[in-house]
Amino acid sequence: MARLLAPTLLWDGTTFRRGQRVSIDDAGRITQVGTTLEGDAEQLNGALLPAFVNAHSHAFQFGLRGRAEQFGQSSTNAPDSFWGWREAMYELVDSLDAQRCRQLSEWAFREMIANGFSTVGEFHYIRHTDERRYVLDDAVIAAAEATGIRMALLVACYLTGDIGKPLAGAQSRFDAESIDAYLQRLDALAIQLTSPLHSIGVVAHSVRAVPIESIVRLQDAACERGLPFHIHLEESKEEIASCIAAHGVTPMRLLLDNGVVRENLVAIHCTHSLPDDLREFAQAGGQVCICPVTEANLSDGIADLPTMRKANASLSIGTDLNSRTDPFEELRWLEYVQRLAVGQRGVVLSQDGDNAAGLINVATRGGARALGVNVGAIEPGRNADLLLINHEHPSLAGPSDEHLAAALVFAGGSDCITMRMIGGRTL
């Protein structure tokens, strides 16, 4: 049903303004924004903001909550790092059936919506149980349908256990078999996803899990289909070392040299990427998705955000392992980690030099671009995925309109949200 909204304040991409109205059509799309829209408007007491976009999630890892936080017990004497955590993740993978996968995904998606995300990029790589192939594809889709979240299903291709090594143990549940088999399944899923809230994307899990010739084929296939292409990149120093040992170059350089870096490419993490690589990557149109809480939890390291910003790389955020699913927390970690590393306040800035707007843009427009999904702004043509913020909430301490965005980003949280809308429908 078409709607006309009259909020107290409305986010225009740079600041909150008064007196703006928004019209939404039957399909849940924003048709007009302005001060003179005529009609019977719904008065909304609060500040209207585009809902946030979570560009990188592994929903099933919600099941690791509290389970990978005991240290000094690694069976392989791996240091208490990403690799020790990966053992706990593989234990979960081994035990996951379709019902549990669906339940964990549903919990993760519900919590994301409650915390202010409307959209998730579900980087989906655990696909089979021991009994049935691809049954976990269906489990994740069913979970998204049940919750009403907007989902870009990022279908992961996973072929090798490490560079040049066969899959081992729990990794058999990720097995895409071959590029041809992967693409056949991808196209079948694209047909299966009939909800207007669902879309699809192509994924090479990492340079560890997909040979470079196959990564090139996947990127070509993504471009042919007009889809985003995602890959984990340079999260750990070990990954970089094994790529250099096999190919003589860093993973990012490998992608650059093979023409994989195009405007639809989203590299997840880039924690240890080199400045020269990053500059060339951004120039070729490559985007970066940072997962600040996950990268801190796993002790990955701190990405070179100043170089990414200077090179105008488009940024987004993701909740990745879903130890938390909170956009406000991710944005604060994104900024604060950089402040500590760089020794300077105000790192993630908008083009006008505004820190709050810079951060909000990363989690709205940046995420929408990363997933190729038409959300992330309150403007004609976009889907009406919106949040209403109680601008009088005590935690925001009654700020002026001018300071509301900064109060929200640095002090606010999901308890300030009074309404959540996805595709024009209030949840």
320 is annotated as an active-site residue: yes
* Complex with Zn ion: residue 148 or 367, whichever CB lies closer: 367
Nearest approach, Cβ of residue 58 and Zn ion (Å): 6
Q: How many residues bind Zn ion (CB under 5 A)?
A: 1
Residues 6+ apart with CB under 8 A from 36: none
Of the residues 320, 385, 391, 393, only one is catalytic, namely: 320
Nearest approach, Cβ of residue 56 and Zn ion (Å): 6
Alpha carbon of residue 393 to chain centroid: 28
* Complex with Zn ion: residue 12 or 162, whichever CB lies closer: 162
* Complex with Zn ion: residue 106 or 320, whichever CB lies closer: 320
Nearest approach, Cβ of residue 62 and Zn ion (Å): 13
Nearest approach, Cβ of residue 156 and Zn ion (Å): 10
* Complex with Zn ion: residue 206 or 338, whichever CB lies closer: 206
106 touches Zn ion by CB under 5 A: no
d(CA 207, CA 163): 7
Mask: binding to Zn ion, 299-338, rule CB under 5 A, as x and -? ---------------------x------------------
Chain residue at closest Cβ approach to Zn ion: 320
Phi, psi of 425 (to 5 degrees): -110, 125
* Complex with Zn ion: residue 54 or 118, whichever CB lies closer: 54
Nearest approach, Cβ of residue 235 and Zn ion (Å): 8
269 is annotated as an active-site residue: yes
Nearest approach, Cβ of residue 205 and Zn ion (Å): 9
* Complex with Zn ion: residue 30 or 362, whichever CB lies closer: 362
Of the residues 269, 272, 391, 393, only one is catalytic, namely: 269
**Which residues does the annotation mark as catalytic?**
269, 320
Q: Which positions touch Zn ion (CB under 5 A)?
A: 320
